[in-house]
Each structure stands twice: as structure tokens, then as C-alpha cells.
Amino acid sequence: FETFSRNFRMAEFWALTIILFAFALLIAELIERAEAKVEYYAGARQ
């Protein structure tokens, strides 16, 4: 475990964490927009 923690680069870990977080937010935004479009078309159909 000691060698693992010594080889483990904290900066890269945080960069990866931030990138994953931003990616998750982007996906959530895209899903929200897609849902809004579906709701709009569903409302227009009735």
C-alpha cells in the first residue's frame, strides 16, 4: 500500500475527479434537455 500511495499522483487524481464530475453534469444537462423536448412534443400532440 505504501508503494501505491507513493506512486499515486494527487494532482492527476483530482484532475480525473473534476473531469468525471463535469462529464456527469453535462450528461444530466443533456438528459434534461431531451426530457423537455419529449414533454413539448407530447404536449403538442394532444
Q: What is the pLDDT of residues 1-46, one digit of tens each?
A: 666 666 677 778 888 999 999 999 999 999 999 999 888 888 876 6
Q: Return d(Cα 31, Cα 40) in angstroms, integer.
A: 14
Give Dmax (Cα) for the chain.
64
User: Cell numbers of 5, please?
Assistant: 500511495
pLDDT computed for residue 43 by the predictor: 80
pLDDT computed for residue 7 by the predictor: 66
Domain range for 9 is 2-45
pLDDT computed for residue 19 by the predictor: 97
Output the pTM of the full model: 0.60
Structurally, how many domains does the chain consist of? 1
- The alpha helices in 1-46, defined as continuous H runs, are 2-7, 10-45
User: Strand, helix or coil at 9?
Assistant: coil
